[in-house]
Structure 1
Amino acid sequence: MEEKNLHAHNSGVQENDGVPAVNPKLGKLIRHRKRKIWSPDELAEGILNGNVPMLSRAITLVESHHPRHQEMAAELVEKCLPYAGNSIRIGITGVPGAGKSTLIEALGNQIASQERKLAVLAVDPSSSRSGGSILGDKTRMELLSANPYAFVRPSPSGGTLGGVARKTRESVILCEAAGYSV
């Protein structure tokens, strides 16, 4: 490294050239590491086999606003529809701080303790300014989120009212096809 003398006299203080803050190879790594795009057939097969990461990817696809994703999501839901409709559906709503997450975690842990598969589709309100959402329900249901019989998926409301997101119905169909009974 090149040394630069800060003072004309020999004070022992010197300045060295710095190192880059970001790895210069990072751009290449990111470009070469693109995510695989799963086909509706692959996602449906994964869902029907109870593959939780595939279920998560499928719900993300269903919630996407991209036109190509919407076409794929419609095809995926169509493939899963024959395996849906066989669960108990429970809706819980209330004002902030009412204890919804506490109730869901207690009830969910009780159901999961009976080795029944439980899916929680938590809907958080979206900001009217940014459109963003905190999606904090999963962190408030820490024990339930770690339970192998439970699937907890937070989703933004996307501006819809009434405690359901724009694509809640489609997400329920996918969860039922994955074998979640509650």
Structure 2
Amino acid sequence: MAPPDPSALSEKDGIPQPETVSSDQAGQIISRRQKKPSPQTLFDGISQSNVSALSRAITLVESTSPKHLEAANQIIALCLPRANRSVRIGITGVPGVGKSTFIEAFGKYLTGLGKKVAVLAVDPSSTISHGSILGDKTRMEDLVKDPNAYIRPSASGETLGGVARKTRETITLCEAAGFDTIIIETVGVGQSETAVHSMVDFFLLLKIAGAGDELQGIKRGIMEMADAVVINKADGDNVKRARLAKTEFNRALHLFPAKKSGWMPKVETCSALTKDGVDKVWGLISDYLELVQGNGYFADKRQAQNQYWMMETIHEQLQRHFFSNPDMVKEIERQKTAVLQNEISPFAAAQSLMDRYFNR
């Protein structure tokens, strides 16, 4: 047998593959990534309803980096003349009440009326890992594809009430982008929900029937802040229980003091799953807006909220400056040690730190 031809076993040169991305194109991509848009450029995009520019601006506003603070403040200042032209609705309820499903059904109903809806969904942060799932866009898969809707999930962080630290500024940016209805979804219910109550025009509390004694919900301070209570998941076998819960809450609401707005909170039932009753919820909000805009309460409340957030911002900045000051960081550690060794009381240590801070 003849020996094999060595040339058949040798590797032949293949055809050289062209570059998928030329060096010039790669350089252009890198330069664009490194180039950060100016506050004016971002504002121009926001004023043209560019959601990419809006998202980048919100990221700047939410940033805790000091180098981003100046740019964020410039963007907010540019957006202020275009703000305050929306209806702000806060929606809260216990986990499992169906907030995301309701907001999607409600948002789709509003965009069907020709409105532009921005949803600011606050996602709870882990106290251990400090991370958040930010899965609201996944839950609202139909609304997220609506060209007249914008969904922005944000981590609650350590903020009281589950309202992201910069939610108030984010509202201003969304209004400047042309969104006429702003919906804020909070983490849950409780006394700390005053945070979201102080930045919206209408506060909606979602409840479900058959989840225990209804009086437990009535006792909460959250009821005093609610402008409407909506019994969700009123479908299937739960319709009868939902109607009974509506009657109980209607009776309970009459026990609370009258609101300064002159509005008597209402109770409705709805099913976010079947969309039944969603139009009635918007009818309630429309009736409320007609009343408070007519008697001047709407404008008065907006002014009071602006003053409230000015004071809250002062508190926040003082706290941040206090704990980030290098001299104070050292002194705090020294006072902690003294407290642990019972050399000084916690109250005296705190007073000493404050005296040192303000008399530096």
Q: 1:97-112 to 2 correspondence within 5 Å?
A: 97-112=96-111
Q: Where does 1:18-33 land on structure 2 (aligned, <5 Å)?
A: 32=30
Q: CA deviation at 1:81?
A: 0.7
Q: Which residue of 1 aligns with 2:288?
A: none
Tell me the equivalent position of 1:130.
129
* Aligned pairs (5 A) from 1:87-98: 87-98=86-97
Match of 1:68 in 2: 67
Equivalences for residues 148-167 of structure 1 within 5 A: 148-167=147-166
Question: Which has the larger share of helix?
Answer: 2
What is the CA distance between 1:71 and its match in structure 2? 1.1
1:88 to partner: Cα distance: 0.4
Alpha-carbon contact 1:41-1:76 (below 8 Å) kept? yes
TM-score where L is the length of structure 2? 0.41
Shift in Å at residue 159 of structure 1? 1.4
Query: In structure 2, what is the Cα distance between the partners aligned to 1:32 and 1:110?
Result: 42
Task: Work out the percentage of aligned pairs sharing the same amino acid.
Answer: 59
Misfit runs of 4+, over 4 Å: none
Contact conserved, 1:126 with 1:158, CA < 8 A, in 2?
A: yes
Partner secondary structure for residue 118 of structure 2: strand
> Within 2, Cα distance between the matches of 1:174 and 1:152?
13
CA-CA distance at 1:82 after TM superposition: 1.0
Q: Tell me, yes or no, if structure 1 residue 142 matches structure 2 residue 141.
A: yes
SS at match of 1:142: coil
Structure 2 gaps, min length 5: 1-25, 182-360
- CA-CA distance at 1:160 after TM superposition: 1.0
The answer for the alignment partner of 2:6 in structure 1 is none
Distance 1:43 1:113 in 2: 29
Alpha-carbon distance in structure 2 between the residues aligned to 1:45 and 1:32: 23
Q: Say if 1:128 and 1:181 are closer, same or farther in 2 by CA, change over 3 A.
A: same
What is the CA RMSD across the aligned residues, in angstroms? Answer: 1.6
CA distance in 1, matches of 2:120, 2:81: 21
Partner amino acid, structure 1, of 2:171: V
Counting matched residue pairs gives 154
- Preserved contact between residue 117 and residue 180 of structure 1 (Cα < 8 Å): yes
Contact 1:80 1:177 in 2 (8 A): yes
- Name the CA shift for 1:35/1:120 in 2 (closer, same or farther; >3 Å): farther
Is 1:59 equivalent to 2:31 in the alignment? no
Greater shift in the superposed pair: 118-127 or 34-43: 34-43
- Higher-Rg structure is 2
* AA at the equivalent of 1:160: T
Q: CA deviation at 1:35?
A: 4.0
Residue-by-residue CA offset, 1:40-78 (whole Å, 9 max, x unaligned): 100111101111110011101111111111110011101
Deviations for 1:60-107, whole angstroms, at most 9, x for unmatched residues?
111111111111001110110111011000001122111000110010
Say which SS state the counterpart of residue 135 (structure 1) adopts.
coil
Q: Is residue 93–residue 163 contact of structure 1 (8 Å, CA) maintained in 2?
A: no
The DSSP-based 3-state class of the residue aligned with 1:119 is strand
Displacement of 1:32: 3.4
Q: Secondary structure at the match of 2:153?
A: strand
TM-score by length of 1: 0.80
1:170 is aligned to 169
Counterpart in the other structure of 2:49: 50
C-alpha separation between the residues in 2 aligned to 1:122 and 1:160? 14
Give deviations 1:98-119, integer Å, cap 9, x for gaps: 1000110010000011221100
Distance 1:36 1:111 in 2: 38
